[in-house]
Structure 1
Amino acid sequence: MTYYHVSFENPLTFYLQIQLMVEVPAEASEPLALQLPAWRPGRYELQNFAQKIQRVEVSDAETDESLPYRKVTKDRWEIPGAAGRSVRVRYNFYAHQMDAGGSWLDETQLYLNPVQALMYAEGHQYEPCQLSLVLPPDWRLACGLSQSQPNVLEANNFDQLADAPLIASPTIQHEQYEAGGLPFHVWAQGEEALINWPRLLADFKAFSEEQLTLFGGFPVADYHFLNQFLPYKHYHGVEHHNSTVITLGPAELLMHEALYKELLGVSCHELFHTWNIKAIRPAEMQPYDYARENYFRTCYIAEGITTYYGDYLLTRSHVRTPAQYLEELNGVLRKHYDDAGGQNLSLTDASMDLWLDGYKPGVPDRKVSVYHKGALAALLLDLTIRQLHGHARSLDDVMRRLYDDFGKTGLGYTDEDYARIVSEVAGRKMQVYFDKFINGIAPLQEPLDKALHTVGCQLVAYENASASEGTFGFRTVVKNERTEVTYIWPSSPAAAVLTVDDEIVAINGRRVDMNLHSLLSTGASRYEVAVFRQNRLVLVELPAQPSAAFGVRYTVEKLADADEAQKAGFQKWLGWEFESQIQTN
């Protein structure tokens, strides 16, 4: 067994004191290697947690003799001569990152993501682990791991320990509900959060039961929603083995419509991950390799399908209405069509490139979001399967097959496995779908509109009301009273004469001062634009030629003349009558 011990002397420094102790067999011939994870499951980029480590010390636990060690990579240490010894490693960890993937220490709480802070001894990571915490006597501990003693957590292996975040605090709130005969715990850290617990628990129970029904079982015995409700604006969630951490704020607005819908959406999304990525795991991550990138081509399944279901199931479970669902779906459409990246990178390549720059804005028009396009591709697939089988089959059946064949067995799936199951559920070859929309960059508008018609909806294109965007093809932001170009649509009129970071100072001799739209809406055939470019004044001529791509905004709306078959399809898809206009929140 590997033993971990976590304590803190002065929470105002944000430093945790961490100890690791491991028994090294006498016959060990190689140095003992200690590895700190370089990334965390749920965010597929190297994060180099070792930059938070201070003052590593290694000793024999029985004699307290100091042992020599050597750092061999940015996050790996080797200890020669460890054979036959009880090795103790001590170091400090800086816990000062408040988001759903971070760790935080202050006088009010300890919040720890073990994957950031705990080294593992190579060759021992599959052994049981025990984590002991030294906490003030009035603090309460929230974690998905079992406690063998007060503040002592047990894990089957390092993988389970690393995937079990915890919050310890004297003020943490706790409620629970039951779904499918299983306990679900809701923990809330944040004194400002005024929670309507009956409403929250009823909504959580509804979407939890909908997910359990979809999959026909649950991979874990219980579940924990670990919430950090913050006094400032924030939004983040991360999935774990039998828990999630959600950081959301401002806390005092939690039960207001705008923020509460975010809480519902992220909570439903993260719970779905318990099946889709935690149990149904890509072959490339069986097991996780914490020391380097784990490249995989299927994040459009892990995140795209989960993004689709995260909002969709809230409606199917009657927590949200169809109108509210379409509003969220239209938000996904806006984000997908916000730039031209979808013209240049496929979903499978975007999955690989998460490790490159998937979580950063990146260079213009290079990439596509596995979350947003992945969700739209999932919607298209769901409606296509439903159309082929009169709603007797759907994407639900694909997910159940993935769970039965891979989630329950512990086998990893490949993109070929997914394509095969999709074709088997659809009852026909779906290679065109994969060639065009998963492995290719074909536009989604026409097939998505056609599929939406089968459920009484349509994809509607509206002209962009912004003159700079809809007519000329460029987007601006005002910073310190400066109007700066932030994005230019390829092949638009603006692309020929403007560049990103240009400061627009005048249009046809008129100063630009929060009036860009009106100055570009006079009906002229061309405009003289004065810009500062790299601190030099430049005059350019901008022709008024509407940009077809950037000038369009897409929304999903109900058909005004939907027939009975389309209305029935709507009901079978969303679980609501077509005419329903009820607003529940």
Structure 2
Amino acid sequence: MHYQISVTDPASHFLSITYTIPDINADLIEIQLPAWRPGRYEIQNFAKNIQFIEAISISGDKLPLRKITKDRWEVKTNSEETVQIRYSFFAAIQNAGSSYVDEELWYLNFINFCFYTEGRINDQCSVSLALPETFEIACGLESSGRHQLVAKDFYQLVDSPLLASETLQKSDYIVRGVQFHIWMHGNLKPNWKRIQRDFRRFSREQIATMEEFPEQDYHFLNLILPNAFYHGVEHHNSTMIVLGPDDEGEGLYTDLLGVSSHELFHAWNIIRIRPVELLPYDFTKENYFETCFVAEGCTTYYGDLFLRRAGVFDDEAYVKELQVYMKRHFENNALASQSLAESSFDLWLDGYEKGIPHRKVSVYHKGALVALILDLYLRKKSNHESSLDTVMQVLWQHFGKPFIGYTVEDYKNVVEEIAGEKLDWYWKECIFTNEPLETRLNEALAFVGLQMTIFSNGNIQLNVQDDFRAKVQRDKWLETRQVLSEEEEEE
């Protein structure tokens, strides 16, 4: 399968695409444009951005093309062994899951506009980009030539976003033999020494915790906008991050650290440690699953925790971030009728909208809080011998590394095996009902000398208690697994 992509008029924001399908031995074939993208569990109907489409033979003869669903077409091959689909796609949105082209930048998420042929989703895919000669490409895919890329199959292709421009800025670092690339596009002058130091720290901490990294290289693709923005999406061996405004200074840098640490942990949790309902992805419809509290909740919890354990955040900064999760849950969703599992399932319905009052909870914020409760419970019970780290390590070894999907029962079994007991209270109160979290959360926090207070006006405050014994436990909870050498600190 080959995709040839060009932009005739950059100001129009239209991509011109030719999708070549070789080795056909059928009278009819069906081509499918994905209805959604990994990392965003809602139907997005990318086909609405197709302006023009036709099917032709290699010699240029038109072939019968019939639309059979909103994003699926049937092609009559007329005995042709190779068919080309030519179409135009409007690429004018800048978020972490979209595509955008103009005179200075090509930002492509192939999931938005690349078709696959029914029955051949596992075929190798190649891409040719008619870029300006001076443009450099930032992408996790392997290069097969100047402005040419190759993917082992459609799944890898559409899980590999791309930035291309002549003004890309880049810095690299290596941790445990893994090559990391940080790419920036936007109106900014990165402090690469500081960025490298902090990124190396949290990368080392994550790899030390999980004991290995799933890939040989990894790309942080950053698009920095002049307007306020915060969005990141996980991918196969990369993440696409869109932030702004570009003049925010320290606030922008804190956002960069938080979203980058979060997205890096997704390299294990969801990219490889994946719910069975999402393995493999079915791009034609909703892929319902109840365990987004693991995929996103645990990842949200770990994103900032790794920054603290790595020494990028201090205690004050970390407590501030914890308080944010608490405020967002208790001030917005504490009275919701749904459980975490129900809200995970309903992501496909309205998970990314405000929704009606008191209906759903956030799999990110409540998910992070119940991850914290579980982590501190396991640590207290075992004197820090086991923790949520242990849970994630077992999930990686049993499900992520062999790439076998896990069920909600699998997750429960792993947690209870590590706990050495049934945790009916946890599943009932934290996951499968809408019971209030306040009591359980403060019980967990007390172990490490923290206390959450909900005031009569609904405001939330997280305080550090003056308790030496609890501080000892807090230090163990937040202690690093890896320390940079003096030489690495100076790099």
Q: TM-score scaled to structure 2, two decimals?
A: 0.96
Per the alignment, residue 229 of structure 2 pairs with: 234
Per the alignment, residue 51 of structure 1 pairs with: 48
1:446 matched to 2:439? The reply is yes
Per the alignment, residue 106 of structure 2 pairs with: 110
* Aligned counterpart for 2:388 among listed residues 392, 395, 409: 395
* 1:79-478 to 2 correspondences below 5 Å: 79-81=75-77, 83-190=79-186, 192-253=187-248, 256-340=249-333, 342-463=335-456
Alpha carbons 1:44, 1:354 under 8 Å: kept: yes
Q: 1:443 Cα shift?
A: 1.1
Q: 1:338 Cα shift?
A: 2.0
Q: Distance in 1 between matches of 2:224 and 2:37?
A: 22
Q: Distance in 2 between matches of 1:72 and 1:368?
A: 37
Alpha carbons 1:341, 1:366 under 8 Å: kept: no
Alpha carbons 2:177, 2:216 under 8 Å: kept: no
Q: 1:444 Cα shift?
A: 1.0
Per the alignment, residue 2 of structure 2 pairs with: 3
The alpha-carbon distance between structure 1 residues 119 and 69, as it changes in their structure 2 partners (threshold 3 A), is same
SS at match of 1:402: helix
SS at match of 1:39: coil
Q: Distance in 1 between matches of 2:10 and 2:431?
A: 48
SS at match of 2:377: helix
Q: 1:24 Cα shift?
A: 4.0
SS at match of 1:18: strand
- Structure 2's unaligned 5+ residue stretches are 481-491
Q: Distance in 1 between matches of 2:333 and 2:219?
A: 39
The one-letter code matched in structure 2 to 1:54 is Q
The one-letter code matched in structure 2 to 1:419 is K
* Aligned counterpart for 1:553 among listed residues 452, 455, 459: 459
SS at match of 1:337: helix
Alpha carbons 1:32, 1:82 under 8 Å: kept: no
Q: 1:572 Cα shift?
A: 0.7
Q: Deviations over 1:385-431 (max 9, x none)?
A: 00010011100000011111111111100110000000011111112
Q: 1:342 Cα shift?
A: 4.3
The one-letter code matched in structure 2 to 1:556 is L
Q: Distance in 2 between matches of 1:204 and 1:303?
A: 21
Q: Distance in 2 between matches of 1:185 and 1:81?
A: 43
Q: 1:37 Cα shift?
A: 0.5
The one-letter code matched in structure 2 to 1:144 is G
Q: 1:457 Cα shift?
A: 1.6
Per the alignment, residue 472 of structure 2 pairs with: 568
Alpha carbons 1:23, 1:84 under 8 Å: kept: no
Alpha carbons 2:429, 2:437 under 8 Å: kept: no
Q: Distance in 1 between matches of 2:348 and 2:79?
A: 37
Q: Distance in 2 between matches of 1:341 and 1:462?
A: 14
Q: Distance in 1 between matches of 2:221 and 2:342?
A: 33
Q: Deviations over 1:444-499 (max 9, x none)?
A: 11111111111122222334xxxxxxxxxxxxxxxxxxxxxxxxxxxxxxxxxxxx
Q: 1:194 Cα shift?
A: 1.9
1:73 matched to 2:69? The reply is yes
- Of structures 1 and 2, the larger Rg is shown by 1
- Structure 1's unaligned 5+ residue stretches are 464-550, 577-585
Q: 1:340 Cα shift?
A: 4.6
Q: Deviations over 1:519-556 (max 9, x none)?
A: xxxxxxxxxxxxxxxxxxxxxxxxxxxxxxxx232322
Q: Distance in 1 between matches of 2:62 and 2:77?
A: 11
Alpha carbons 1:295, 1:355 under 8 Å: kept: yes
Per the alignment, residue 15 of structure 1 pairs with: 14
Q: 1:220 Cα shift?
A: 1.1
Q: Distance in 1 between matches of 2:468 and 2:106?
A: 57
Percent identity between matched residues is: 46
1:38 matched to 2:40? The reply is no
Q: 1:198 Cα shift?
A: 0.2
SS at match of 2:455: strand
The alpha-carbon distance between structure 1 residues 343 and 9, as it changes in their structure 2 partners (threshold 3 A), is closer
SS at match of 1:184: strand
Q: Deviations over 1:248-272 (max 9, x none)?
A: 111133xx22221111000000101
Alpha carbons 1:341, 1:367 under 8 Å: kept: no
SS at match of 2:332: coil
Alpha carbons 1:194, 1:251 under 8 Å: kept: no
Per the alignment, residue 544 of structure 1 pairs with: none
Q: 1:80 Cα shift?
A: 2.2
Alpha carbons 2:323, 2:460 under 8 Å: kept: yes
Q: Distance in 2 between matches of 1:81 and 1:314?
A: 55
